Amino acid sequence: MPIASFPITPVFGARVEGVSLSDITAGEFEQLYAIWQKHHVLVLRKQELTNPQFERFSAMLGELDPPPNQGAGRKSVPGHPNLYVVSNRKDGAGVPIGALGDGEAQWHTDMSYLERPPFASMLWSIELPETGGDTFFACMPAALRSMPRQLVERIERLSIKHDGTYDSGGNVRKGMTANDNPMHSTGTPHPVVIEQPETRERTLYLGRRRNAYIPGLSLEDSEALLDTIWGYATAPQVTLRHQWQLGDVVLWNNFTTMHRRDAFPADQFRTLHRSQIKGNHVPTAAVRKEAA
């Protein structure tokens, strides 16, 4: 069966059929990569994988990052230090086997507080609850295109400080001190409007809303402008909802999307393995429209 892709929404996202990630060839990978570059989020269903096979496919995208510094600590797949466990299960001693628990994970871009953030992330579903735990994605190039010209002209001159204090579950990262003053919290500034480093597509780059701050503005003005930007960035017309099935693998571009997760019942279990592709690029401001 040849590789075929089917759009998930008119804006972004594609479901791909005709490829098995367990033994994907170099030629198939090239086709898959081209589809991903166009659609930003790929969904591949019914993948029968082992951890070595999942890691092999992940490494075809680039050098793997170790798991991030989450509030619950680094939780890797046994024998695979570059694969990260997302789960609410606990071991016999009551210690979580993974991160993020069963609560909601707010809109975010993975590890955007780094100077060179990860380029891509991927999740593989192993165990799912009966209800909840859906993952939502937002398309940042489409959000930028939806904005009024005057707003774009304003924000493409600005940066956002991306907070590194909290993880997407709202937990303080290990080694960090709780700080809810966006002007003084620890973080890294990145331009609000960047270029996707491979395609040169213009896109918003927002990180996460908590403790975000626009340097040079008063806190009040920064909060108001950020609220406006996020209204466009998370509008229904630029988002999609992924309802997980066992064996799903979902790949997304961290430079052009944000994602969030719904909570699910604490007495049900959700376990996914995740890989993350190390970033080789510093987010770079896009060329302004009038200068293009």
Cα gap 43→241, rounded to integer Å: 11
Q: Tokens standing for 65?
A: 């990052």
Cα gap 168→180, rounded to integer Å: 15
H helix intervals, the chain? 26-39, 51-60, 140-145, 149-155, 219-233
Return the sign of the alpha-carbon dihedral for residues 95, 107, 180, 275. Answer: positive
pLDDT number for residue 21: 98
20 C-beta neighbours (distance < 10 Å), count: 16
pLDDT number for residue 71: 58
pLDDT number for residue 291: 46
Q: Angle at the Cα of 225 (from 224 to 227), degrees rounded to 5?
A: 65
pLDDT number for residue 253: 98
The residue extents of the domains of the chain are 4-291
pLDDT number for residue 292: 45
pLDDT number for residue 290: 58
pLDDT along the chain (292 residues), means of 10: 94 98 97 98 98 98 83 78 94 89 92 94 98 98 98 97 82 80 89 96 96 96 98 98 98 98 97 96 85 46
DSSP summary character for residue 241: E
Collapse the DSSP code of 15 into the 3-class scheme (helix H, G, I; strand E, B; otherwise coil) and give the result.
strand
CA-to-CA dists, residue 127 to 58, 143, 211, 233, 266, angstroms: 20, 32, 33, 30, 14
Pairing of β 80-87 and β 76-77:
antiparallel
Q: Tokens 């996020």 map to which residue?
A: 230
Name residue 92's amino acid.
G
Class of domain 4-291: alpha beta
Return the sign of the alpha-carbon dihedral for residues 233, 239, 241, 247. Answer: negative
pLDDT number for residue 194: 98
